[in-house]
Amino acid sequence: MEIADLIASGSKLLIDKFIAPVTIFLDLVLTYSRARVCLSFLRRNVSVIFALDSAQARILMDEEIV
């Protein structure tokens, strides 16, 4: 039983000290990169919407002038 207990405590120590922090770090990195991708996607779409709005505003202004 001593060997089994030693293996169990060693694997628990390995999980607590190495695997858990690495998993948390990788989760944070993936969350950060997903957030950056979402923000760049939103920024690109918002700039396209503003460009379309300004183009429509120019067209309306041109129609009012003519």
Number of neighbours of residue 10 by Cβ within 10 angstroms: 10
Report pLDDT for 63: 65
Residue 32 confidence (pLDDT): 85
Rounded to whole angstroms, how far apart are CA atoms 33 and 30?
A: 5
Q: Which domain holds residue 17?
A: 3-61
Which amino acid is residue 17, in one-letter code?
K
Judge whether 66 lies within some domain. no
Whose tokens are 């202004």? That residue is: 61
Is 52 part of any domain?
A: yes
Give me 59's structure tokens.
């067209």
Q: How far apart are CA 42 and CA 60, in angstroms?
A: 27
**Cα–Cα dist 45/35, whole Å:** 15
pLDDT digits (tens, 9 = 90+) for 3-60: 677 677 777 777 777 878 888 888 888 888 888 887 788 777 777 777 777 777 777 6
Question: Is 16 among the domain residues?
Answer: yes
